[in-house]
Structure 1
């Protein structure tokens, strides 16, 4: 639930930080020791943004859109975040910044319809497809991570 300005706050963060390609509510760090699974992170520069609420620079989103094979939300946000970081790294020689604003945004999490309105089999199958693409494309590519 959003109870105040959010998109403008994210846009202000992108205006203030030219190295950031995206800003959002929640973020995570990638645990390379745990098969590239994500671990919730505090506010700041994070490896990946979670798609509860995120704003991406237009040019970055056009250059690196979300993978159209990601038909289910779980891991799709992580996949897109890594793609954005990778594209920026390739072009700039360093990973893009993704900024989690956390409690700076007036957002509270309620019932997650994407999760609860799908069957366990669908969640597992589609999440696994997204996760397998992540591992195939980025496992071992620690240079694109903020925490590398």
Structure 2
């Protein structure tokens, strides 16, 4: 499950993960371990551009992952919650600086938007050091986000 849900999207993550737009997607952004700001600071950023303008750096060697399919939601009436999931995140032949976390963001326009248009949804604490091998971030069995 998410280690942090951004303030702007609390209660809206399910709406974004439904990918309601024509050219939208979820974007997974790796963040460097060095300079990673505290959750109390990160949760207040409303755009990816604003977040990256702080002391937090994107780990650009790995590159971003775009997710447009296999996003699922499970409405659990028994436990009064909704879980959202997507495929595990895989980077092959990793390189670059150590990663401290990844962001899952909503990009409303993958054909022409900018980081100022991308909305950070959740942060997953996933520290690893790229060493040339494949890295898989296995999401929680119930998903990466839960609204309860």
Task: Give the TM-score taking structure 1 as reference length.
Answer: 0.24
Between Structure 1 and Structure 2, which shows a larger proportion of strand residues?
Answer: 2
Q: Higher helix fraction: Structure 1 or Structure 2?
A: 1
TM-score by length of 2: 0.24
